[in-house]
Amino acid sequence: MTTTVERPVKRSGRVWRWILAGLLLAFIAWRLPNYWAFDREQALSRNDSIPWHYVTMSLHVILGSAVYLTGLLQLSPQFRKRYPVMHRWVGRTYVCVALSAGLLALAVGVVSEFGPAVRVGNVLFSLLWLHATAEGWLAARRRRFAEHRVWMLRSFGMALGVPLARVITIVCVFVLGPPVPGGNSVAIISTWLSFTLAILMTQAYLDRPVRRLPVRKLG
């Protein structure tokens, strides 16, 4: 007698995790030095009319880097299986830095120098990121680990919208040309398209097809 169980279709999971890790480490190496020393002159994005903007942005970038490092560890099935206690502590660290970075993103998003359309996008996606992270933490507290995994993947997927926005910005500048003084079209496109794609791609990963494997049952 046989029965069936559902398992995800096996993909080259280890390969794409290594690729993602390499890309994120490169992004951190590029982005972090501009804010690590709290040197305003090195800032890639700043609003000098808001006194607290640069410090808030710097803390957001530093904590965001911690989000990527802890999130990458949590993506590894081998890490979760071999070091379950460390997995829980790294997970708690991820939640703390993600919630903190999300609140800081909310603060700098409200006063973005790129206009109201970008401000609305930044605030909306910051709230969605905070919501996904909080839902993942609450699901773990309730020991609903399947829900926990889904929400934490959504949280990390939305965090990937930031480096994706930089890629889209480069493409937009190449296609549309450098932005004119006072023009915010590139910032608007990169903000809305990057986070929308990040959400859709994460959901597509969660909804990926499964295959049924026969399992022999005695009796």
- Find where tokens 């800032």 sit: 43
User: Is the overall model pTM greater than 0.85, yes or no?
Assistant: no
What is the chain's Cα-based Rg? 20
Q: Which of 14-18, 42-46, 90-94 has the lowest mean pLDDT?
A: 42-46
pLDDT for 216 beyond 70: no
pLDDT for 218 beyond 50: no
User: Closest Cα to residue 157, out of 106, 207, 195?
Assistant: 195
pLDDT for 13 beyond 70: no
pLDDT for 126 beyond 90: yes
Task: Take residue 197 and report the two structure tokens written for it.
Answer: 């794609």
- Of the two residues 36 and 12, the one the predictor is more confident about is 36
pLDDT for 42 beyond 70: no
Quick check: is 214 in a domain?
A: no
pLDDT (mean) for 169-193: 82
Long-range contacts, stretch 85-93, CB < 8 angstroms, 24+ apart:
91/140, 91/152, 93/66
Quick check: is 215 in a domain?
A: no
- DSSP letters spanning 125-136: HHHHHHHHHHHH
Q: Based on the structure, what is the number of domains in the chain?
A: 1
Q: What is the mean pLDDT of the chain?
A: 85
Band of the pLDDT at 211, cuts 50, 70, 90? low
SS3 labels along 110-122? HCCCCCHHHHHHH
Quick check: is 27 in a domain?
A: yes
- Of the two residues 87 and 8, the one the predictor is more confident about is 87
Task: Take residue 213 and report the two structure tokens written for it.
Answer: 């494997």
Band of the pLDDT at 217, cuts 50, 70, 90? very low
By the 8 A CB rule, do 205 and 16 touch?
no
Distance between start and end Cα atoms, the chain = 7
Quick check: is 218 in a domain?
A: no
d(CA 204, CA 38): 38
Quick check: is 217 in a domain?
A: no
Furthest C-alpha separation in the chain: 76
Domain that holds residue 131: 2-209
Q: What share of the chain is helix, strand, coil (3-state, %, to 5)?
A: 75, 5, 20
Q: Which secondary structure element, helix H or strand E, spans residue 179, and what is its range?
A: none
List of E strands, the chain: 2-8, 210-216
- DSSP letters spanning 67-104: HHHHHHHHH-HHHHHH-HHHHHHHHHHHHHHHHHHHHH
Task: Take residue 28 and report the two structure tokens written for it.
Answer: 């951190």
